[in-house]
Structure 1
Amino acid sequence: MISVKEKKNYLSQHVQAIKPSGIRRFFDLASSMEDVISLGVGEPDFVTPWTFIEASYHSLERGYTAYTANAGLLELRQEISKYMRRRFQVTYSPEEEMVVTVGASQAIDIALRAIVNPGEEVIVVEPSFVSYAPTITLAGGVPVPIHTQPDQEFKLQPEQIEAAITAKTKALLLCSPNNPTGTVLSKQELVRIAEMVEKHDLLVISDEIYGELTYDEPYTSFPSIASMQKRTILISGFSKAFAMTGWRLGFACGPKEIIAAMLKIHQYTMMCAPTMAQYAALEALSNGAKDVMKMKESYRQRRSLVTRSLNEMGLACHLPGGSFYVFPCVKETGLTSEEFAEQLLLKEKVAVVPGNVFGESGEGYIRCSYASSIPKLEEAMRRIQRFVQSLQS
């Protein structure tokens, strides 16, 4: 009898170990239903401002449809350099310390692949964006979560970094304003974190994609802290503040040796970011400040409405300092994060994201995006209140 050879497993163990995005599961479920108000996916409800779109059209009309330099259009990198100096008080060389990427997500990916050796550890501040830990794993690293606390508004404490350090620690992945909590770290808090970074000789990947969307105090970019620019890979992009999610355009700034390493990966995997999107971004940085401010003021009003409404219905929620998310606690309902989100969707047709997808410390919370119109948010709050009351009766 001829033995049947056991079927070979062709899949990567790294990929098999990674769970699908919890955000996408609820988004896909919601998209199959009618009359759903989605507070789930982190995307502005604003259409990309017309002047940005027009700049893209004009680039096509002029025949600018070829590859750009791997690092991106020099004119765009020069404008990014001016923007970072003007808005965030950090100066980068457009020629050597910057790369334009396919969204901020790609910038994080190639940053990790450029610095992480197999088995090295990267500290992740949780609750955290769902892609951080999987991307570290795919780079061959080991994500080490730090669980921030609600009574401290989910702010990272320096002593938590100290406790997480091992001989294998390579970097800290920081996000302020934070997704999903909306927490913003002040300059004084960042200075204390910087002291730990210096003490333990760490690199920092600072995801500042929501840096334009802060409401209560001036934003402090981590590399603007003394001696931190040489240790920091700054990640940002155009998706959130400029309402350009579908254009897929981000950038990274950092020490030239690290940017050069990132550029190697970028040129072999992406070649360059989309040319037409780069021309739209050039217009956004050159002439889009008023559009950003208009959207930001609208988010500020929505933040107040949603935070007040959630607290009044008994879902404790701190006032987020930035982004367009709130992170209310649902523990008092007796439901887990996933039970609350799923039942709310099925019974009241409001889509939110269960907090546990952002790490263990997110259990007992849900993420609600307030990047929707005021009428939709008001109706969503009525539906959530009705659902909460039904649980109490």
Structure 2
Amino acid sequence: MREKVCQVVISGAGPAGAILGLLLARAGVETKLIERHEDFSREFRGELIWPSGLKPLKQIGIWEDFEKVGQVRIDQVKMFINEKPFVSPQMDSSVIGEFRPRWISQPHFLEMLVEKASAYTNFELLRSTRVRNLLRDEDSVTGVVTDSHGDISADLVVGADGRSSIVRARSGLSAKADKLPMDIVWIKVPADRMEICNTMRMYVGRGRLVIMAPTFDGFVQLGFIIRKGSFKELRQLGTEGLIKEILNYVDAPTREVLKTTDTDDLRPFLLSTVADRVDSWCLPGLLLIGDAAHTMSPVGGQGVNIAIRDAVLAANYLIPALKTATNADTLYQTLQKIETERLEEVKLIQAQQAKGPRILLNQSLWMRPILLLAQKLGRGAKFDAASDPSMKTMMFGVSPIKWTVE
């Protein structure tokens, strides 16, 4: 038996891992958080947080810190079909109050979380460190093997290391994947002369979907949904050719601005979309949360929301369990309760995410008149976003999440 180095070791300092690490540390639990990068700015990360993710941030007492993070408040979503206005869901303050959706700087958000956690002497962040394998004692996971800090043994290992989770891979837990028909190309362009303040836009038509959202640093994040596996063809066009392709699907004012965009410094980034869910989130001594447990499709911007909600609910269960003389069997039962409580929401939202692309990216002959009719009926009409059942689910989630420890 190895001597325990800490009570909990978390692999992955994304939203799920960083929030769980902060909450455990604040409660006095000896916690190590492992992050494979030196900082958080090397990869594109989901940037949208809906009310379902914002409310828990206030409940756990970090709202004031969160509001200092670089972000843009989203007041409405403008949806277009074949370049013409369709509908415009509004974020009604009488319904969502202060929790209007935010397009955030995730690197700033994560740095804020780990900085707050690092104020506790029982917390340690190990940057530029990779988990290579799991330590085991018979059927139980007892720690991790790292590339630069040796073996780290713990009462509990939490895999929060995202869609390419090493912890999941080494655990032997299997997953079921949904086949998604699309990939997404992300590219940031200057927001000069583009009237998009506090508005997210979605353009649908001819088998494509374009997403636009303002960022805190004076840019617009463009997401171009393409047929899965077709990026190679687009890449041959170069960045200028990619922008020209996007011009075919946006409204006239946006098209005129994008035509004059200098593409020399733009860097497109391909996100190969994945949606899956492990058959079981836990083993004795091991818990998976966030994308490590259930990789979310980018549709509806749910990745960060679900990660936040996973972390807060997990902390609700783990803190009482870890602060008492809990044996391994009782801890495992606690892990199973976390999975059971989160599973319904994750399954429902993943199912809803899968429907949209199969309809909107459909290029069959019968789909064209349906979209044409929808646009003529909508004509840019405004309505409360929460009045639409599908949007309400995306905005507020399915299962209530309430911070109960403090």
TM-score norm. by structure 1 comes to 0.23
Structure with the largest fraction of strand = 2
TM-score norm. by structure 2 comes to 0.22
